[in-house]
Amino acid sequence: MKSFISSLVFAAVACGGEAARNIAVEIVEPANGAVMSGPDVRVVLVATGVEIVSAAEEREGTAHHHLFVDRGSTSPDDTIPSGVTGILHLGRGQTEFVLRGLASGEHTVIALLANWAHLPLRPLAADTVNFAVRP
Ligand SMILES: [Cu+2]
């Protein structure tokens, strides 16, 4: 898996130019449809074609991860708000986050890449997984 990720990163770098960049995000954990032991579930994110940095870095070609937990994403035209239940900014450039105290049952997590202004990247780079926490 690690070498696979490395080759993806290498391919993205090797492709060069801004226009050729294909920016994407994938939730690699939990797997879609997974049944997890709760109540804490680790979410692991892999971004390609963009550098994941702290939200404090105002630089083109960078982004940070956002998670929408058990709710829809906000409009792609609007900045992603702070202080809203179920909306998480991984603003220190984290690529993992542990969701704590999830209830047993079905859950949905949407990942979305946005820039330092918390404005979703265009074209949209998003991924969704559905999983369940065992009673
Ligand atoms: Cu943000």
pLDDT digits (tens, 9 = 90+) for 99-113: 999 999 999 999 999
List 129's β-bridge partners, or say none. Answer: 109
Asked if 89 contacts 7 with a C-beta cutoff of 8 angstroms, the reply is no
Q: Residue 81 Cα, ligand 1 centroid: separation in angstroms?
A: 8
Q: Nearest-CA neighbor of 79 among 26, 128, 25, 115?
A: 115
How many domains is the chain partitioned into structurally? 1
Gap from CA of 41 to ligand 1 centroid (Å) = 21
Could you list the residue range(s) of the whole structural domain that residue 93 is in? 2-133
- Tokens of residue 99, six digits: 């969701």
Q: Which of 58, 63, 57 is nearest to 21 (CA)?
A: 63
Span from the CA of 66 to the centroid of ligand 1 (angstroms):
6
Q: For the domain that residue 69 is a member of, what is the CATH number?
A: 2.60.40.10
Q: What is the pTM of this model?
A: 0.84
Taking CA 2 as the corner, what is the angle to CA 115 and CA 17, rounded to the nearest 5 degrees? 45
Task: Read off the pLDDT of residues 45-83 as tens digits, 9 standing for 90 and up.
Answer: 999 999 999 999 999 999 999 999 999 999 999 999 999
Ligand 1: centre distance to CA 91 (Å): 6
Distance 134 CA to ligand 1 centre (A): 30
